[in-house]
Structure 1
Amino acid sequence: MGETEMDTTIARREELSDGVVRITLKRGDDRRFPTWLPGAHVDLVLEADLVRQYSLCSDPEDRSTLEVAVLREPCSRGGSAYVHDKLLPGDSVRIRGPRNHFPLIDAAEYLFIAGGIGITPILPMVRGIAQSEKPWRLFYGGRSRTSMPFLADLIDRHGDHVDIRAQDEAGLLDLDTALGAPREGVAIYCCGPEGLLKAVEERCRLWPPGALHVERFAPKVADPAARAASFQLELARSGQTLTVPANRTIVDVMDEAGITVPVSCREGTCGTCETAVLAGAPDHRDSILTEDERAANDVMFVCVSRSNTDVLRIDR
């Protein structure tokens, strides 16, 4: 299935907190956006070779607009700097999606943990769960209160369910208290900087399988022990067999052979290049799939992942 692409206009721009700007997108002729669910993100096609993914933080029930909040990264590769310095109300921007690799599952109880800009995909989840009668709690940390977007709104609307921890006032989030003892029926959703994600993952090792759901804005650090070898790539649809050398990606080898694969991030975080696996065992190097999804070995992301077997057959 091809990617959904559409032209939008910047309807509003607002400074939310230190270094964070919210961009509101609108379609022409008051057309509605496609249906989306909490956890979804879109690609902003800022320039032909500058495409970045941002989580949707607006209300899924209001499809007249889409909203993203973007942190200015000090070591920006161009995306956040472009959004902050160049996108103004009235400007046009093409988007792809929405796409969702961080879906909200049904559970008896919810625990949300967010660090800084990691609140963006969690915000629509909180809005939806707050309308239910299910127990939930949000633990939200940041460098300072002035750096934490949506803070006042969360306190005003859901103060009894929200624990705030500004690092300059009280240090890091107390994850041991936030998580408590492992228990059944709890869905844990976490998004934020890598240090927070790794700390939560470590504490959730004894929780029931599938309890923890994380979303990364940056790729995981590569495993130095990962298999480094060439392999044969069989393409089921085209009938071609290609050799993928140890120093090249599947996407690049396929592109050279004239097989086009939609790509965006090229670092295993956006999900654009998701591909079905028909035979063989992928070497999953993405930052998207859960452990259960990796074990199933039925899909992979060909911009970064490789093969643990000498031959890998995919649906391309």
Structure 2
Amino acid sequence: MSNSQQIEVRVQQMRYEANGIVSVELVSPAGADLPPFSAGAHIDLHLPNGVVRSYSLSNSPMERQRYVIGVLHDRNSRGGSRYVHEQLRVGSTIKIGTPRNNFPLDETAAHTVLIAGGIGITPIYCMMNELVRQGKSVELFYCARTRDEAAFTQQLLADGRVKVHFNDEAGGMPDLRAFLASKPSNAHFYCCGPTPMLNAFEQLCEDLNLPNVHIERFAAAEPVVAMQTGSYECELAQSKKIVLVPSGKSLLDALLDAGIQVDHSCREGVCGSCETAVIDGQIDHRDGVLTKAEKASGKTMMVCVSGCSGRKLVLDL
């Protein structure tokens, strides 16, 4: 939920993992254990340039003394990945949020199929290693444009449960339909990667009637308009405040302008930083985090992109 705890960590190591990708190892400056996490979790980096960005944890949840993230130097960086690659250095101390998991792993599945595209390998790598550690039935299909742009290949290619596809070597894109159709329908399928891959994966799983499907997006599936036409009132149960959200303004901006501190990062409804409990009201969900069932329950919302389809919303803020 909003207003999660921030902790200080030190950059213990930065390592070149692939073309345009570095891993960053973070530890407690005091040598203390870090808060626990589960496979699929991510943390928010509160960077010194004022930018907050979410990155998936790639190391084992059994390692309480460190967090390891993988960061792609995004050509369209708005200041997050560029700062990590060009200015963050070993020995630096930064603030991070405690781990959150919008991409949890069902460890009871009879068989798990993991699919990663490019930098999407970061949470998938953690899942793969955790299921292997538990002796579970698992396989991984890892796709990248080139071998040079694929992180963790040295470790992964040694495992017979891992299949790789590099577009330049294969002469084209992977045949996801054929791959998915060859798997048992009761398996659990996880996919993380670029938006076109995730969109294709979701559509193919629906076409093939695969019920156990899980995705994590690093960007919105399509541009999200957070501003609504029409105004509404937002009552804050804890703060005892009423905030008017006018037409043309997002709920998040209205809250921030009213002096309400709300954790936020992506402003695209994909990272989960701004998840807020809802007490009452008709929610206009526009995020890419909550499942259909979670949206139908009306218990929480992502205030950066979602709003109200009625006249009043009551939040637990």
* Pairwise same-fold verdict (TM > 0.5): yes
Shift of 1:258: 2.9
Residues 176-185 or 272-281, more deviating: 176-185
1:46 counterpart = 2:47: yes
1:147 counterpart = 2:149: yes
Give the percent of matched residue pairs that are identical in Structure 1 and Structure 2: 38
Change (3 A) 1:266 1:85: same
Q: Which ranges of 4 or more aligned residues in structure 1 deviate by more than 4 Å?
A: 181-184, 206-210
| Partner of residue 13, structure 1 | 14
| Partner of residue 56, structure 1 | 57
| Partner of residue 169, structure 1 | 169
Shift of 1:84: 0.7
Shift of 1:81: 1.0
Change (3 A) 1:4 1:227: closer
CA contact (8 A) 1:139 1:173 kept: no
Letter of the aligned partner of 1:17 in structure 2?
A: A
Q: Deviations over 1:143-174 (max 9, x none)?
A: 10110001121111x2x211100010112121
CA contact (8 A) 1:183 1:208 kept: no
Shift of 1:184: 4.7
| Partner of residue 258, structure 1 | 259
Residues 162-171 or 262-271, more deviating: 262-271
Of structures 1 and 2, the one with the larger relative CO (CA 8 A, separation 6+) is 2
Shift of 1:254: 1.9
Q: Unaligned stretches of 5+ in structure 2? A: none
Shift of 1:220: 2.7
Could you tell me how far apart the structure 1 residues matched to 2:102 and 2:19 are? Answer: 28
| Partner of residue 109, structure 2 | 107
Structural mapping, 1:230-249, within 5 Å: 230-249=231-250
How well do the aligned residues superpose, as a CA RMSD in angstroms? 2.0
Q: Deviations over 1:250-286 (max 9, x none)?
A: 1221222232222222222221211112222211111
TM-score normalised by structure 1 residue count: 0.92
Change (3 A) 1:205 1:182: farther
Could you tell me how far apart the structure 1 residues matched to 2:100 and 2:242 are? Answer: 30
Shift of 1:48: 5.2
Number of matched pairs: 313
| Partner of residue 83, structure 2 | 82
Could you tell me how far apart the structure 1 residues matched to 2:263 and 2:224 are? Answer: 25
| Partner of residue 211, structure 1 | 212
Could you tell me how far apart the structure 1 residues matched to 2:52 and 2:133 are? Answer: 34
